Amino acid sequence: MTEDEIVNNLSVMLSLSKHEAEKHRRIILGIGDDAALWQPSRSHRSVISTDMLVEGVHFRRDTMSLEDAGWRAMAAALSDLAAMGARPVLATVALGVPAANAQPEIVELYQGIAAAARRFGITIAGGDLSRSDLLTISVTVVGEVRTTRVKTRAGAGPGDVLAVTGALGAARAGLELANQRGLMDGANGDAALQAFRRPTARIAEGRFLGASANVTSMMDCSDGLSTDARRLCAASDCGAVLEAIPVADSAREAAQRLGEDPERFALAGGEDFELLVTVRARAFRYLAGRYEKRFKKKLLRVGALRKARGVDWRGAPLDRLGWDHFLRRGG
316 touches a copy of itself by CB under 8 A: no
Strand, helix or coil for residue 296? coil
Contact by Cβ (8 Å): 66, 106: no
# binding residues, a copy of itself (CB under 8 A): 75
Residue 134 or 308 with smaller CB distance to a copy of itself: 134
For residue 296, what are the CA distances in angstroms to 40, 83, 165, 286?
35, 20, 11, 15
Among positions 3-22, residues that touch a copy of itself (CB under 8 A) are 3, 6-7, 9-10, 13-14, 16-18, 20-22
Nearest to 120, CA basis, from 84, 91, 88, 85: 88
Contact by Cβ (8 Å): 45, 150: yes
Q: Which amino acid is at 247?
A: V
| β-pair partners for 136 | 54, 96
Least Å distance, CB 25 to a copy of itself, is: 6
Residue 78 or 184 with smaller CB distance to a copy of itself: 78
Among positions 76-115, residues that touch a copy of itself (CB under 8 A) are 89-90, 92-96, 99, 102-103, 106-107, 110-111, 114
Contact by Cβ (8 Å): 236, 277: no
Planar angle of CA 298, 301, 303, nearest 5 degrees = 170
41 touches a copy of itself by CB under 8 A: yes
Residue 135 or 241 with smaller CB distance to a copy of itself: 135
Residue 141 or 240 with smaller CB distance to a copy of itself: 141
Length, in residues, of the chain: 331
DSSP 14: T
Q: Which of 72, 74, 85, 125 binds a copy of itself (CB under 8 A)?
A: 125
Site string for a copy of itself, 196-215 (x = CB under 8 A): --------------------
Among positions 126-145, residues that touch a copy of itself (CB under 8 A) are 126-134, 136, 138, 140, 142, 144
Stretch that binds a copy of itself, among 27-35, 201-209, 276-284, 302-310 (CB under 8 A): 27-35
Least Å distance, CB 154 to a copy of itself, is: 15
For residue 142, what are the CA distances in angstroms to 67, 146, 248?
22, 14, 30
